[in-house]
Amino acid sequence: MKKPTPPGPRSLDLSRRSFLGGTAAAAALASLDASASPGGQAPPVNTFELEEVTLSDLQTGMREGRFTAHGLAERYLARIAAVDRVGPMPLASVIELNPDALAIAQSLDMERREKGARGPLHGIPVLIKDNIATADKMQTTAGSLALVGAVPSKDAFLVERLRAAGAVILGKTNLSEWANFRSTRSSSGWSGRGGQCRNPYALDRTPSGSSSGSGAATAANLCAVSVGTETDGSIVSPSAACSLVGLKPTVGLVSRSGIIPISHSQDTAGPMARTVADAAALLTVLAGVDASDAATAASQGHTGLDYTRFLDADGLKGARIGVPRERFFGYHAATDALVEQALEDMRSKGAIIIDPAPIPNLPRLDEPEFEVMLYEFKAGIEAWLASVGARTKLRTLADLIRFNEENQDAEMPYFGQEVFRQAQARGPLSDAKYRKALAACRRLSRSQGLDAVMRKHQLDALVAPTQAPPGLIDLVNGDHWLGSSSTPAAVSGYATLTVPAGYVRGLPVGLSFIGGAWSEPTLLKLAYSYEQATRHRRPPGFIPTADLRLVAGR
């Protein structure tokens, strides 16, 4: 959804052994126990052989014989064991590990020796969000205890593409439960299954959401890259909060089949990575036309591309960049200061800055967007429940509401399900109220919104702060939310990309590049040029709380 999600380090419903996934991860579990230091403090986590390595680094290492896929999977599993569930403030970014990960990696090593590599993801350890279906020994639950045991009959289309590319799916990441579409006062990163995910830059801070675990795990170097999903902000928000590159593609570029839905008008999956180049490489694999997702038919001509070909260190030269200040600036002075510096950095690289370049109709998007989400969630979640059939007794949204009530201590210890109840009150997608809201969303966000401002100023992209630095986790009141720039691209279904822009008191701030439909090549080019000129990303320190003596930088 659009703002982050839930809190509280709750124990998993699974046993510790089944959480880590059987034999392969049993050694990782033993490592976790052995590495816990006296007094319950987390062990040092700043020494890791693979810290901040890129996909290119890993492929070079495997090609030269310094790494194997099996060895990489072992290292990342050990890293997860040493970091993710240790100490009084666990990161809790990984909800479940794949018990077959090491065996898959070993078979990919053999294939590399006999046939060569399939491509840039061959043997690469990847984590995916726990609302993306895998037909294997892992669960697909959206973080909810309600779906434990309801294993899908087939992989999500994007999972099929990852497997075909030779990726090793290490496991599933924690998330804001139901992708943050259950309560208006949730805490980002909390789920009934996974507990409270934390921000590795300061463990008492939100990882944001809803792709909270994907963001925290990638930032903490628990995987090479990860996959998140977004309806409004759920990729770019946790990416900004964790100093990552996060790309929310144009709706239809990446298939949604096999992903637990919120809104078929806005839902998409996308890459989360530590560099723009890695995000481009992952997008290349994720993008594809899927007969099971009609929206992907429009992506013909935009799939089958190698998105890394658009990376250009001089990509900002001559680019026309608009600055939509209304609603996107002014809610946090230190964030504004970092973005003003970013504008100067882009000018120094030859960009033409059009300032201001307001997006029309922004205040008019909120009400129809939420109305569309309520209708589409009810229809979409009931279609999902039907798709898992006999593997669950739950068939309707009303069944999920009842399950939460009957399991209140585990599922609603901190916040309720008022959004579920609002969705339950909606009718079918044939309702005139739904059709009117959907038409308003498309008109106001597209022809009278992003298309209008970009056409008026002949823009390549718009830039704005992604959001303020991550706030404190608050299980009593929920998220403290100041503002963000995700909504125009979310409602229109267009592309947006966030990239690290610096730090405020050691806490990450992201800069969003917002484009039109199928603008991924342009956004990657611009973001790569900015990234190469500034190189803001730094690995996290896993400190208990932010160092308030700092103002900017780290």
CATH code of residue 64: 3.90.1300.10
d(CA 413, CA 494): 36
- For the chain, 554 residues long, give each residue's pLDDT as a single digit of tens: 544 333 333 333 333 223 333 333 434 433 333 333 333 344 455 589 999 999 999 999 999 999 999 999 999 999 999 999 998 999 999 999 999 999 999 999 999 999 999 999 999 999 999 999 999 999 999 999 999 999 899 999 999 999 999 999 999 999 999 999 999 999 999 999 999 999 999 999 999 999 999 999 999 999 999 999 999 999 999 999 999 999 999 999 999 999 999 999 999 999 999 999 999 999 999 999 999 999 999 999 999 999 999 999 999 999 999 999 999 999 999 999 999 999 999 999 999 999 999 999 999 999 999 999 999 999 999 999 999 986 889 999 999 999 999 999 999 999 999 999 999 999 999 999 999 999 999 999 999 999 999 999 999 999 999 999 999 999 999 999 999 999 999 999 999 999 999 999 999 999 999 999 999 999 999 999 999 999 999 999 999 999 998 876 55
- Which position among 234, 263, 265, 485 bears the catalytic label? 234
- Altogether, the residues listed in the chain come to a count of 554
d(CA 248, CA 269): 7
Determine the residue type at 288.
G
The answer to the question of residue 6 being in a domain is no
The answer to the question of residue 7 being in a domain is no
The answer to the question of residue 431 being in a domain is yes
The answer to the question of residue 381 being in a domain is yes
Domain ranges, residue 314 = 16-534
3-state secondary structure of 124: coil
Determine the residue type at 243.
S
pTM listed for this prediction: 0.93
The answer to the question of residue 499 being in a domain is yes
Q: What distance, in Å, lies between the first and last C-alpha atoms of the chain?
A: 31
Q: Contact, 198 vs 92, CB < 8 A?
A: yes
- Which position among 93, 176, 188, 210 bears the catalytic label? 210
In the residue annotation, 210 being an active-site residue is answered as: yes
> Which pairing describes strands 195-196 and 268-273: parallel, antiparallel, or unpaired?
unpaired
Sign of CA dihedral 527, 529, 530, 534: positive
- The total number of structural domains in the chain stands at 1
Distances from the Cα of 431 to the Cαs of 375, 396, 437, 438, 445, in angstroms? Answer: 9, 19, 10, 11, 21
The answer to the question of residue 202 being in a domain is yes
Q: What is the token pair recorded at 511? A: 């800069």
The answer to the question of residue 9 being in a domain is no
- Which position among 3, 129, 172, 349 bears the catalytic label? 129
The answer to the question of residue 170 being in a domain is yes
